[in-house]
Amino acid sequence: MLKCSFIEGPILHRLKYGKGRGQNLAKAVGFKFNKNRTIIDATAGLGYDAFILASLGANVTLIERSEKIYDLLKAAISEAKLYGGEISKIVNRMNLLFGDSKDILPNIAPEVILIDTMYKDRKKSALVKNDMRLVREVVGSDSDHVELINVALNNASKRVVIKQPRYAETLDNIKGCSHQILGKIIRYDVYVTI
Ligand SMILES: C[S@@+](CC[C@H](N)C(=O)[O-])C[C@H]1O[C@@H](n2cnc3c(N)ncnc32)[C@H](O)[C@@H]1O
């Protein structure tokens, strides 16, 4: 069953052992340059990446267009707000919006945008993660991925970060990225837009 929680489960392991601002996600969004990053997670999903970024001090706006995933995420954020302690402080830095990022991004003057769609071939890597397989069953394959990236590139004032499986092909119709951050399983393609 698809579940979303910030008070139990794998996210707490990631919070505890994730190497803080030294982890690749933090490097990709550019924490080095600004300790108080404001980040738009344009593909919120279960909110795990957003939660990690918020735990590092960022204010994160999450956008999700699937009603079912949005409802799960909204409930998990509400539950975590009531939980108290550090978890509540973290989710208080998360602001969830419902809708399609392609429509919303041009209206919110984003600085840094994170994109992690279901588009890529996840057979060997991220599909191993059961929860992402279940998300895919709900949302499908995000076939408008390229369109979303182009909207993000046209609107981010600082950078766009695309999270992909490490060996995913670079898309032909997207211009080359500024740099990449490579992990064992995940790759971040960073487009500096300043
Ligand atoms: C791979 S999941 C994201 C996982 C997320 N990074 C996490 O840590 O839980 C992709 C999510 O993005 C959402 N999505 C894809 N394209 C979108 C768009 N244009 N606007 C809003 N949400 C979108 C999908 O509905 C899906 O829930």
Tokens for 112?
């840094």
pLDDT of 173 reads 66
pLDDT tens-digit profile of 155-189?
A: 999 999 999 999 888 776 677 899 999 999 999 99
Tokens for 164?
């992909």
Contact 12, 141 (CB under 8 A): no
pLDDT of 174 reads 77
Q: For the chain, which residues make up each domain, given as ranges? A: 10-192
Give the C-alpha separation, 32 to 48, whole Å.
21
Q: What is the arrangement of strands in the sheet containing 179-182, beginning at the earlier edge strand?
A: 94-98, 59-64, 38-41, 112-115, 159-165, 186-192, 179-182
Give, using CA atoms, the residue closest to atom 10 of ligand 1.
117
Any atom of ligand 1 within 6 Å of the Cβ of 48: yes
Q: Report the nearest atom of ligand 1 relative to the CA of 43.
A: 12
Distance 141 CA to ligand 1 centre (A): 10
Any atom of ligand 1 within 6 Å of the Cβ of 148: yes
pLDDT of 39 reads 97
Burial 176-193 (b: 16+ CB within 10 A, else e): ebeeebeeeebbbbbbeb
Q: Report the nearest atom of ligand 1 relative to the CA of 114.
A: 6
Any atom of ligand 1 within 6 Å of the Cβ of 49: yes
For the chain (194 residues), the mean pLDDT of every run of 10, in chain order, is: 92 90 94 80 97 96 98 98 97 98 96 90 56 90 93 96 89 81 94 92
Phi-psi region of 6 (alpha: psi -120 to 50; beta: other; left: phi over 0): alpha
Distance 116 CA to ligand 1 centre (A): 6
Which CATH entry fits the domain spanning 10-192: 3.10.20.30, 3.40.50.2300, 3.40.50.150, 1.10.540.10?
3.40.50.150
Any atom of ligand 1 within 6 Å of the Cβ of 66: yes
